[in-house]
């Protein structure tokens, strides 16, 4: 039986529901390709997608530090997850300048100030 909540919500809504439960979800095509950012169909092939839960482990592919007036510096990083997809996030718990390419990281569920669920990472 199909979970009706997975049918009646947008892919982003389903992803955010998983984040609210502390889970990092991604999609997988019928041919086994990991897909992220949430979509209705697989890019390039139009294949159906199923939801999977990531183990949340990966490594920093790229990172930069953002400096804004009157705001503490923070990093923006591209994370390669072990399941085969890449996502943009940030690494918390260490100085933004200390985040390095190749650093192993683990997913942590967080929330924006407005309560929106957010995926961030900590150093392993």
Residue 9 belongs to a domain with what CATH number?
2.40.50.840
What is the percent of the chain where pLDDT is above 70?
Answer: 94
Q: Which of 47, 98, 99 is nearest to 78 (CA)?
A: 99
Tell whether the torsion through CA atoms of 54, 57, 63 and 67 is positive or negative: positive
DSSP 48-77: -EEEEE---EEEEEEEEEEEETTEEEEEEE
Q: How many domains does the chain have?
A: 1
pTM of the model: 0.87
The predicted-structure confidence for 13-67, as pLDDT tens digits, reads as follows 999 999 999 999 999 999 999 999 999 999 999 999 999 999 999 999 999 999 9
How far apart are the C-alpha atoms of 28 and 48, rounded to whole Å? 8
- Mean pLDDT, residues 92-112: 96
Domain that holds residue 103: 4-123
């Amino acid at each position: 039986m199909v979970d009706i909540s997975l049918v009646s919500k947008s892919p982003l809504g389903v992803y955010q529901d998983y984040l609210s439960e502390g889970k990092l979800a991604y999609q997988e095509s019928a041919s086994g390709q990991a897909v992220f950012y949430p979509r209705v169909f697989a890019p390039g092939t139009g294949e159906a997608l199923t939801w999977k839960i990531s183990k949340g482990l990966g490594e920093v592919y790229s990172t930069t530090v953002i400096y804004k007036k009157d705001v503490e510096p923070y990093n923006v990083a591209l994370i390669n997850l072990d399941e085969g997809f890449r996502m943009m996030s940030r690494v918390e718990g260490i100085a933004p300048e200390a985040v390095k390419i190749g650093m192993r990281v683990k997913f942590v569920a967080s929330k924006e100030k407005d309560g929106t669920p957010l995926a961030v990472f900590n150093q392993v």
